[in-house]
Amino acid sequence: MTRILYGLSGEGSGHSSRSKQMARHLESLGHEVWLASYDRGYRNLKDEFNVFEIEGLAIASADNKVSNIKTVTKNVKRLKKGWLRLRALKNEMFKIFEPEVVITDFEPMTAYLAHHYDIPLMTIDNQHRMRYMTYECPPGHQFDQKMTKSIIRAMVPRPDLSLVTTFYEGQVTNDRTLLFPPILRDEVIAMQPSDEGHILVYLTSGYDTLLSQLKKFTHERFIVYGYDRRDQEDNLTFKLPSKQGFLDDLATSQAVIATAGFTLISEALYLKKPYLAMPMEGQYEQQLNGFWLEQLGLGRNAPEIDEDVIGAFLYRLPEFNGVLESYESEGNMKIQAKLDELMQNNGQQLKELHHRRKRKKWAGQIEEPVVDSEAT
């Protein structure tokens, strides 16, 4: 049995969805797990797990664009509480719970304290593919690529091991990074997909430009989530947040139109749903997701949305469906098997990796990989 502290970003639902699956698996093996998160991550997990509430960074957006001013203002207001929760995390989790292993899904407090207390640190996320994996960069985003890599390095410095999830292939740049298929919720794996004719639309913030375009396609039915409404407007059916309701509408849709978040794309591909991705302006990861979705022929990337883009996507649905027939996901078995191996004997294998990394550092060996994750 291993004592594990699992930190996860509270921004959006993807981190908590992924972490829930991994935490369930670890607990089923008898390990003692505490999670640490904030905002949506805390709310999504607190009823099922032991969750320590911390403070973290948030992104403010409007009309599918990141608002830099609102984002800075929002996070400045969190600084005082963030400092208090950091002290509490240090005292209550690291000094009393005394984790033997720290896992982080893009959460910096737990990562930095793992270094402070000399505890093995492992990442489980999709963000580290942008740091430790070679891939073709979306045209015009080379500066964003470099900035994102630097941000990831600052958020989670020097992990001993990175388990990276991805829906496209690439080469890793060091021997401390392992690639896995996207982590899927049990509820998604259990679904039997069908086509009831509607198109699922999901937005994380108001995007009135898109709604006005969708109304032009009068022969299509759109089910819209993300507006905190429950009513009908022309061919748009607005629904309130519902985990099961959303999943049912996803599984029975003919296609998906949504922002380019990694988790929803992964779930849609598993259920073989063509995807029109609208990357949020200012979020490089979403630009990357949309770019690779289109490169693989699994959907369309739409940094700018208009009637022609939507019409072209709908026209090509048979083509996308044909490609999706050959898309295969291995589910969670591969990454769960690796976790089982790493956590045996109180996390002994991960502890050995940690001590080996320390010896390399003391010997003056290069800390970061020699091969850069620039486009190749």
pLDDT score, position 213: 95
Beta-sheet strands, E only, within the chain:
3-8, 32-37, 51-53, 61-62, 65-66, 101-105, 121-125, 161-165, 177-180, 198-202, 221-225, 231-233, 236-239, 255-259, 275-278, 299-301
Of 160 and 364, the one with more pLDDT: 160
pLDDT score, position 370: 36
- Report the pLDDT averaged over residues 83-105: 90
pLDDT score, position 203: 87
The overall average pLDDT reported for the chain is 89
Distance of CA 180 to the CA centre of its chain: 13
pLDDT score, position 369: 43
d(CA 354, CA 331): 28
The answer to whether residue 58 scores a pLDDT higher than 80 is: no
- The neighbouring-strand residues paired with 225 are 202, 239
d(CA 210, CA 278): 10
Lowest mean pLDDT among 63-72, 187-196, 232-241, 366-375: 366-375
Of 137 and 84, the one with more pLDDT: 137
In what side-by-side order are the strands of the sheet with 231-233? Answer: 231-233, 236-239, 221-225, 198-202, 255-259, 275-278, 299-301
Residue 269: in which H helix or E strand, if any? Answer: helix 262-270
- Of the pLDDT bands very low, low, confident and very high (cuts 50, 70, 90), residue 61 is low
d(CA 158, CA 368): 8
**CA atoms within 13 Å, Cβ hemisphere of 124:** 27
The answer to whether residue 315 scores a pLDDT higher than 70 is: yes
The answer to whether residue 57 scores a pLDDT higher than 80 is: no
Lowest mean pLDDT among 71-75, 172-176, 212-216, 296-300: 71-75
- Report the pLDDT averaged over residues 146-169: 94
Q: Please give the domain boundaries of the chain with CATH numbers for all domains.
A: 3-184+332-362 (3.40.50.2000), 187-324 (3.40.50.2000)
Question: With pLDDT > 90 as the criterion, what percentage of the chain qualifies?
Answer: 76
The answer to whether residue 66 scores a pLDDT higher than 90 is: no
d(CA 376, CA 5): 36
Lowest mean pLDDT among 26-40, 155-169, 196-210: 196-210
Does residue 364 come out as left (phi exceeding 0), alpha (psi in the -120 to 50 range) or beta?
A: left
- Of the pLDDT bands very low, low, confident and very high (cuts 50, 70, 90), residue 333 is very high
Alpha-helix residue ranges (DSSP H) falling in 166-242: 186-189, 208-214
- Report the pLDDT averaged over residues 339-355: 92
The answer to whether residue 87 scores a pLDDT higher than 90 is: no
pLDDT score, position 209: 85
